[in-house]
Amino acid sequence: MRSHTIDIPDRYPTRTTTPSRLIERTDPTVWSAGPEEPFSAASLVAYDTNGYAEIDGLLTPDEVGLFQAELRRLASDERVKSDERTVVERSSHAVRSIFQVHRISPLIGELVRDRRVAGRARRILGSDVYVHQSRVNYMPAFTGAGFYWHSDFETWHAEDGMPAPRAVSISIALTDNYPFNGGLMVMPGSNRVFVSCVGRTPEEHYRTSLREQEIGVPSQADLTTLAARCGIDQFTGSAGSALMFDSNVMHGSGNNITPFPRSNIFIVFNSMLNTLVEPYGAAIPRPDFIASREFVPI
Ligand code: 6CS
Ligand code: FE
């Protein structure tokens, strides 16, 4: 495993004891020039400016049906439910997420490689890519707990050793995302500001953070500053649509107390030129099923 090059300072220091800082990003958002495809020109510009782009109709209605059935099959498979890669809701014990799902489900393994998905990631990251993390989020009806505001890159940098924000996530909706059933909220343009977080990373933090994250979340003062600068958008797309977003975009979602589940497939691609080193803000790296250390290009 690559360790830090000691003479290169950490450009994104976090999990500090010193007060938090808003650090201007010193990396691009779209890493390569060239033809927009498979994006449209407008959506690539939107992605570069806002740090995210919506993709309507990424999956056909038939494909949505296939993946919905796959999620039902996974959530009812006793072996999957008892697997350490499965996270259950704290209150209801309903399945909340299944990690490394592209390895567990051959169907999702294929989707990860699909040009509509991996092709877009290669276009944004300007290189070959590999899967850093995959999960399905069930956000079940009535009991689905949300995710407080956070930057994924802050966690992946601190706990997984991801050097730069040269990673992209795609959230593929398998149910309709409404404003009221836990739809993802994002701060447009927040990809350009790294918000450091105060507080040491607890041992085996992932055992609690994947249910409810308290360390590695920005202060209310910093969130207020960022929201005043960026505003807040909400992704509301029908089943089959997707949201592609930069690893450092500030995002979060509310609880789902409605009868409508908000299930999605969530895949994170990292650039082959940004492979993980030692964690920048934790004693030991997180397990492979949360942050892959098999750097094999798709
Ligand atoms: O810690 C992580 O890697 C995961 N946690 C959240 C809330 N979003 C990104 C990622 O799936
Ligand atoms: Fe996240």
Q: What six digits make up the tokens of 101?
A: 């799902």
Q: Does 243 have pLDDT greater than 70?
A: yes
Lowest mean pLDDT, pick from 2-16, 192-206, 229-243: 2-16
Atom of ligand 1 nearest to the CA of 291: 3
Average pLDDT over residues 116-122: 95
pLDDT for residue 39: 86
Q: Are 153 and 167 in contact (CB under 8 A)?
A: yes
Quick check: CB of 152 below 6 Å from ligand 1? yes
What residues does 170 pair with on adjacent strands? 244, 267
| Residue 248 to residue 125: CA distance in whole angstroms | 13
Q: Find the ligand nearest to 135 CA.
A: 1
Atom of ligand 1 nearest to the CA of 209: 1
- Tell which atom from ligand 1 comes closest to the C-alpha of 159: 1
Q: Residue 122: CB within 6 Å of ligand 1?
A: no
Per mean pLDDT, which of 141-150, 172-181, 185-194 is the most reliable? Answer: 185-194
The pLDDT value recorded for residue 100 is: 97
Residue 150's pLDDT is what? 96
CA 287, CA 210: separation in Å to the nearest integer? 13
- What does the pLDDT look like over 54-96, one tens digit per residue? 999 999 999 999 999 999 999 999 999 899 999 987 777 888 8
Helix (H, G, I), strand (E, B) or coil at 50: helix
pLDDT in tens, 2-28: 566 556 789 999 998 899 999 999 999
Per DSSP, what are the bridge partners of residue 271? Answer: 129
Give me the pLDDT at residue 3, please: 64
Band of pLDDT at residue 203, cut at 50, 70 and 90: confident
Helix ranges (DSSP H) in 161-259: 206-209, 220-230
CATH topology of domain 22-271: Jelly Rolls (2.60.120)
Ligand at shortest distance from the CA of 266: 1
Report percent pLDDT > 90 for the chain: 75
Query: What was the pLDDT predicted at 140?
Result: 82
Of 210, 245, 268, 270, best ligand 1 pocket probe by most atoms within 8 Å of the beta carbon? 210
Q: Looking at residue 5, what is its pLDDT? A: 58
Neighbours of ion ligand 2 (CB under 5 A): 152
Looking at residues 278-297, what average pLDDT do you find?
96
Q: What is the pLDDT of residue 214?
A: 80
Section 260-284 average pLDDT: 95
Amino acid, res. 110: E
Distance (Å, whole) CA 213 – CA 171: 19
Q: What is the mean pLDDT of the chain?
A: 92
247 has a pLDDT exceeding 70: yes
Report percent pLDDT > 70 for the chain.
98
Task: Give the mean model confidence (pLDDT) for residues 129-143.
Answer: 92
CB distance 152 to 248 below 8 Å: yes
Residue 153 phi, psi dihedral angles, 5° rounding: -60, -35
